[in-house]
Chains A and B, each alone.
Chain A
């Protein structure tokens, strides 16, 4: 299989398969899930049966259905947050690189300030004060994450801005909007796409971590992180319940990383040809 003339590595093909399956499950969760995710259907911790493939959970809900709906919550949330953080980070990073001077200084020092605090603790403080409603969760994590996107976007753009075609555009009298969207952005797409994959993984794991600590997604909604938290004690009784959501987290993370690795390898190869 090839994408834009580049041969897909075996790991990249596995990664794409994992991501596509996860996305399909997330999008079509109500159609795929055999039961409702919030309705108790029997005894708590009932063993797997023909009807309930993975058994029932602590409140007697179908574990498989919760896992499927959890995909929707975990992946959807991570995608929205990553997209938002890229919107903020890329625009401000490009603005800093193109404008330079005090705009660059102001934005960069502000980002340094936020980055100097441990992200998890910072998120803790904000979520404890403002509560864990979904919009608050999304905006908080997106802003924290956008500082890292800002760093990358700025450094990529600084390199591009120093090239003569940008100077040529300036000499032509082009405004900054043209320079950012038409001269810089198209050349920044490859490194930013790879970063999107990586940041998605980090966000996804970060939400899982927050949910595990009780500050992320709140009941009755399920996400994989909170499911690990709710079921973790059952490991002592020989039940595999917490392992399913944990495995789902691990598999998706590995899948995305497979794709990112492949993209980075063709990107660096492309640069090699230019030299």
Chain B
């Protein structure tokens, strides 16, 4: 039996620290009552236990996290049920008493650590602030406690890291400092709200390991909110699956992952495991659509961001460029599009060399290469309607009349499985997945050969992201478009790409067919990346950490492609 399962077994007799009974949260404004965000959710959290809350966005998981502290977002209210912490009902106490609970008793760790720290103060000041202000610890005690937490969280130079400012540490380190900030006052409950979602896979492993160690050593109870089943599998004793504010299934982690009872849970689990491959490349010897030939680029006055990169994309190919943030993969996309002029090498499009600068390229060249972005929220002008957004490339490149543009936009919307009536809506009125479909439609409208996809699914929920990938695959089958996928998600890569290039510090360390690159012998860095992708087994994190500790990773069975 694994350590996690033993924990679940042992915690069964521990005292209940948080008891939520029939909680309901709803929107209520001047204009009247709105939708119910959380409907009749109950859970008992015992000391030393971790409950994972999982679901797509809009499932109500963050709302439950906030409501456990008695808080809601603007215009929302807790309209029913009891939230009992120890022996106090959080709903019944005054806002002041509630503020006294938050920090010393219940602490919250948010997704974006960068946004939660004040850039003008050192980390130590901010870590100690709450505990000192609440009078729990003296400043000296708080400092000592913080340093010991930094050590437990495996932060580098724990004695001195506190004197740095937030921008002087990496994202993963900052996330761990935030965990230290939450732990200083020794709260009874920790609420983690997607704390690793913004991190790349290798950093995520470090943070997950640190969080788990912290929870185990302090025997703190925790709610862990995430949309990634594989992540929650590593850390939670029990998992609650939520959908549209209602509880779908609640049970032991192993049971949820291995024997899900409900159809929705089964879908969630199988989406994560299942694979569907994009077309195998035609091995035709035709001219590649895109040939990147020994290209280097830099930002003025900085060392080279990418150096000597060579890559080819052929018709029908899906080429994935992978690497952690800072590896230069997004820079590569900027160089290909001409936003950042290359300083050496050549980029050929359909056999013709492209000028390094965007403004020197022809309209025809611009049209044949389109881009889809990570964040659909900022990739579409919120003030434009779908007709303007998708119709602009049609009008711009083909000089069609107004009626032809409208007909083409309607056709593209149908291809995207979006209702035609959306044509007059503003892009800001759509959901994340719908916006990403509009981005794709805008790219398709130009009748292109190549679409560059910059992390197109990482800002979306798992199921929505899967739908987008399936749509891209369908379009490739129908239209023969080639994709250059920039991503850090190796799970996606394994499923969709027929070729892959691995980047590290601006250099390409491995490239070739996906099957070749992702099977032994690996480049050591490819191996590190691969072994960092969470798998949906509760023992996965232990195995990875053990393998890394003993240096036996090379032969590890973890690297089997799912």
Contact = CB atoms under 8 A, between A and B. Distances in A.
Interface of A: 7, 163-165, 167-168, 170-174, 182-183, 186-187, 272-273
Given A173-B366, A174-B396, A168 B30 contact: no
Interface in B361-379: 361, 363, 366-367, 370-371, 373, 375, 378-379
A174 B381 CA distance: 14
A38 B363 CA distance: 65
Contacts of A173: 361, 363, 366-367, 396
B363 A168 contact: no
A171 B396 CA distance: 12
A164 B383 contact: no
Nearest to A7: B30
A174 B366 CA distance: 10
Which 3 A/B pairs are nearest by Cβ-Cβ distance? A186-B383, A164-B379, A173-B366
A165 B378 CA distance: 6
A273 B74 CA distance: 8
Interface string B362-404: 0100110011010100111111100000001100100000000
Contacts of B30: 7
A154 to B, nearest CB: 19
A75 B370 CA distance: 51
Contacts of A183: 381
A170 B268 CA distance: 39
Nearest to B388: A182
Among B375, B378, B380, B446, the most chain A Cβ lie within 10 Å of the Cβ of B378
A186 B337 CA distance: 26
A94 to B, nearest CB: 15
B132 interface: no
A170 B381 contact: no
A168 B439 CA distance: 10
A172 B383 contact: no
B339 A165 contact: no
A226 B65 CA distance: 62
Contacts of A272: 74
Interface of B: 30, 74, 337-339, 358, 361, 363, 366-367, 370-371, 373, 375, 378-384, 392-393, 396, 442, 446
Contacts of B396: 172-174
Contacts of B337: 171
Given A167-B339, A186-B383, A172 B366 contact: yes
Given A7-B30, A272-B74, A171 B379 contact: no
Contact of A171 (B366, B378, B380, B381): B366
Nearest to B373: A164
Nearest to A185: B383
Contact of B339 (A171, A182, A187, A273): A171
A4 to B, nearest CB: 13
Given A164-B373, A164-B375, A172 B393 contact: yes
Given A7-B30, A272-B74, A170 B379 contact: no
B381 A186 contact: yes
Contact of A164 (B74, B361, B378): B378
Given A171-B337, A172-B366, A187 B381 contact: yes
A119 to B, nearest CB: 32
A47 to B, nearest CB: 51
The A interface, classified by DSSP as helix, strand, loop or mixed, is: helix
Nearest to A189: B383
A254 B338 CA distance: 51
Contacts of B378: 163-165
B382 A170 contact: no
14 contacts: A167-B339, A170-B358, A171-B338, A171-B371, A172-B366, A172-B396, A173-B363, A173-B396, A174-B396, A182-B381, A187-B381, A187-B382, A187-B383, A272-B74
Contacts of A273: 74
Nearest to B428: A274
B358 A172 contact: no
Contacts of A167: 339
A100 B25 CA distance: 48
Nearest to A173: B366
A170 B373 CA distance: 14
B27 to A, nearest CB: 12
A186 to B, nearest CB: 4
Contacts of B367: 173
Given A163-B378, A171-B339, A174-B396, 4 more contacts: A164-B378, A170-B339, A172-B366, A172-B446
Among A170, A183, A273, the most chain B Cβ lie within 10 Å of the Cβ of A170
Contacts of A174: 396
Contacts of B392: 172
Nearest to A188: B383
Contacts of B383: 186-187
A185 B442 CA distance: 21
Contacts of B361: 173
Among B339, B363, B370, B381, the most chain A Cβ lie within 10 Å of the Cβ of B381
Contacts of B338: 171
B358 A171 contact: yes
A182 B381 CA distance: 9
B366 to A, nearest CB: 4
A163 B382 CA distance: 11
Among A7, A171, A187, A272, the most chain B Cβ lie within 10 Å of the Cβ of A171
Nearest to B376: A164
A164 B452 CA distance: 14
A168 B371 CA distance: 7
Nearest to B363: A173
A164 B358 CA distance: 16
B442 A168 contact: yes
Among A7, A165, A182, A183, the most chain B Cβ lie within 10 Å of the Cβ of A165
A186 B428 CA distance: 13
Contacts of B358: 170-171
A165 B392 CA distance: 12
Nearest to A274: B377
A172 B379 CA distance: 13
A165 B366 contact: no
Contacts of A186: 381, 383-384
Given A173-B366, A174-B396, A168 B339 contact: no
Contacts of A187: 381-383
Given A174-B396, A187-B381, A187-B383, A168 B373 contact: yes
A272 to B, nearest CB: 6
B379 A165 contact: yes
Contacts of A182: 381, 384
A170 B337 CA distance: 10
Contacts of B375: 164
A165 B381 contact: yes
A135 B328 CA distance: 57
A50 B384 CA distance: 58
A121 to B, nearest CB: 36
Contacts of A165: 378-381
A170 B366 CA distance: 10
A80 B446 CA distance: 44
A174 B393 CA distance: 10
Contacts of B371: 168, 171
A168 B379 contact: yes
B12 to A, nearest CB: 39
A165 B383 CA distance: 11
Nearest to B371: A171
A272 B378 CA distance: 16
Contacts of A172: 366, 392-393, 396, 446
